[in-house]
Amino acid sequence: MRARAWLGAILPTILAACGGGATPTSDTLHLALINDPILNPVLAPDVGSVLVNKVIFPGLVRPDERLRPEPDLAESWTASPDGKVYTFKLRHGVKWHDGAPFTAADVRFTFERILDPKSGSLLWSDFSVIDRIETPDSLTARFILRTPFAAFLTLLGYNAGIIPEHAFAGRPIVDDAEFNRRRPIGTGAFRVVDAVPGSSLTLEANPDYYGARPRLRRVVFKLVPDASAQVAQLRAGELDLVTLEPASLPGVKGAPGIVIREATVPQHYYVAFNQRQALFKPPAVRRALDLAVNRRAIVDGVLKGSADLPVGTIPVALADWFDDSLPRISYDTSRALALLAGAGWRRDRAGLLRNAAGAPFRFTLLVDKGNPSREQAALAVLQDLKAVGVDASLRNLEFAALVRDCLQPGRYDAILIWWTTPPDPDQYSYYASGQINNNVAWSNSRADSLLKAGRGETDTVRRRAIYRAFQALEQEDPPVMVLYYPREIQAMSAHLSGVPPLGIRDALRHIETFTLR
């Protein structure tokens, strides 16, 4: 992916709206991607893939406008009193895009692939609590969990789209390039009709969709990795909806035919320090780096105020779980230097940090190309760290290469990146020791205990106390350098309506309501 954690709804703020744009000539929606997608929700963790897969592959449930689970492929469900058995009744008459019937066997197949180490699915951590899936009949799927799991329903509606068993014919899902790159088979409101690597992905309305009839004829996802190019194409009418970085806002604010709104989303932007390296293992060092960065300057200067200052990895959007009594991470270079000195790092005459052997405190910070806010934030982090004697350099990479070649295999020093997490405080899969999404290799036994306990606690009061303890622990042993909690700025054509007041990831689960007029 938890919905109880929200303020009740994501409330968009309409900042500007003018209707002077040209009348659309088609009912084709154009959206931007920053990387070529993998068209398989079991395999694809990156942002481009997730956006497309939300449209192609529904889950058993989906988030409503208050981010609470509502029926999707499942028409209803029940949970056992002990919270360990969930039984889903599936919709009648659902068809895959190739006309084959959707059944409980597809549900079982999907989650067995998620749990199969050979798949390498990053969803494994979310669903490792599953002991087995039973299918008493073709329209009933029963999940038996090893332990109670408070976030289970929310996670089912987050990234866990269902894939078809019959499409793979016994082949490993990772080997099917035709399905994963060109011709996926889903049950969603739109189906893929054309895939041009490095260019675009075209979807058409699914005439057999089980839900409300889609109001659009086509959806085209265009590969536009550069944020400035996205803005230019929005203004030119070549894109209908983009999420903006604050630096891009002046380019569209007040522009004819463009509407701007904000959505609070469960994201945290951070610098990942690779704790496989001895340089970043000591908590005191990471705490010192935390103190050396002026986040207020980044939020005010780079993000133009469209972000909140952090406490830890649980974002302020999760109002019921965020511990507002804890102090925001402070900016204190004197304390940072004292912590570094205690860890064996002192500045030489030139002001450069060195250890007892004379080696400099040196690393390379990676950031993706084409996004001015992230690039400027990375520069600001670098300047602040250099001010306390860190010898850091910056390297820009294409987003896909940064994730594929550096982040996932753990071949990096530091990366400025972000997580969009489910609307629940459960961060076990992101920060518990050994979990596949814990790409910084953070390891803290107390955090492991808290995160495990939080997963299984269904009492809200006790669960809240667990996550408050986790947030307090993070301030002493930060898993990552959390920089800010952004607010999603959405810029869209004034001719586009029917978009739920949600972050774009969750809104795309309701794409059948999108309308161009």
Q: 471: part of which helix (H) or strand (E)?
A: helix 460-476
Does a structural domain hold residue 133?
no
Confidence label for 498 from pLDDT (cuts 50, 70 and 90)? very high
Q: Are 57 and 37 in contact (CB under 8 A)?
A: no
Q: Are 423 and 1 in contact (CB under 8 A)?
A: yes
Can you give the pTM of this predicted structure?
Answer: 0.75
Q: What is the pLDDT of residues 33-64, one digit of tens each?
A: 988 999 999 998 677 899 999 999 999 999 99
In degrees rounded to 5, what are phi and psi of residue 31? -125, 155
Residue numbers of the domain that contains 319? 267-487
Mean pLDDT of 120-144: 94
CATH number at residue 425: 3.10.105.10
What pLDDT does 323 receive?
A: 96
Helix (H, G, I), strand (E, B) or coil at 458: coil
Helix (H, G, I), strand (E, B) or coil at 510: helix
Confidence label for 247 from pLDDT (cuts 50, 70 and 90)? confident
Does a structural domain hold residue 309?
yes
For CA atoms 151, 155, 156, 157, the dihedral sign is positive
Beta bridge partners of 13: none
Q: What are the strands, taking DSSP E only, across 68-179?
A: 69-71, 74-79, 85-90, 130-137, 140-145
Pairing assessment for the beta strands 346-347 and 353-354 based on DSSP bridges: antiparallel
What pLDDT does 19 receive?
A: 35
Does a structural domain hold residue 331?
yes
What pLDDT does 354 receive?
A: 98
Does a structural domain hold residue 447?
yes
Q: What are the strands, taking DSSP E only, across 306-388?
A: 307-308, 346-347, 353-354, 362-368
Q: What is the pLDDT of residues 341-379, one digit of tens each?
A: 999 999 999 999 999 999 999 999 999 998 888 999 999
What pLDDT does 260 receive?
A: 94
Residue 511 burial (CB count, 10 A): 23
Confidence label for 25 from pLDDT (cuts 50, 70 and 90)? very low
Pairing assessment for the beta strands 85-90 and 74-79 based on DSSP bridges: antiparallel
> Number of structural domains, the chain?
1
Mean pLDDT of 299-310: 92
What are the residue ranges of helices labelled H in 202-357?
227-235, 283-291, 295-297, 333-342
Longest dimension (CA), the chain: 75
DSSP string, 382-427: HHHHHHTT-EEEEEEE-HHHIIIIIITTT--SEEEEEEE--SSS--
Residue with tokens 């803005």: 231
* 26 pLDDT higher than 90: no
* 207 pLDDT higher than 90: yes
Number of H helices, E strands in the chain: 15, 22
Q: Give me 384's structure tokens.
A: 């602040």
- The DSSP call for residue 37 is P
Does a structural domain hold residue 326?
yes
What is the Cα Rg of the chain in Å?
Answer: 23
Q: Give me 393's structure tokens.
A: 């350099």
Q: What is the pLDDT of residues 73-89, one digit of tens each?
A: 999 999 999 999 999 99
Does a structural domain hold residue 162?
no
Average pLDDT of the chain, as a whole number: 91
Does a structural domain hold residue 414?
yes
Does a structural domain hold residue 154?
no
Mean pLDDT of 324-332: 96
Confidence label for 118 from pLDDT (cuts 50, 70 and 90)? very high
* 440 pLDDT higher than 70: yes
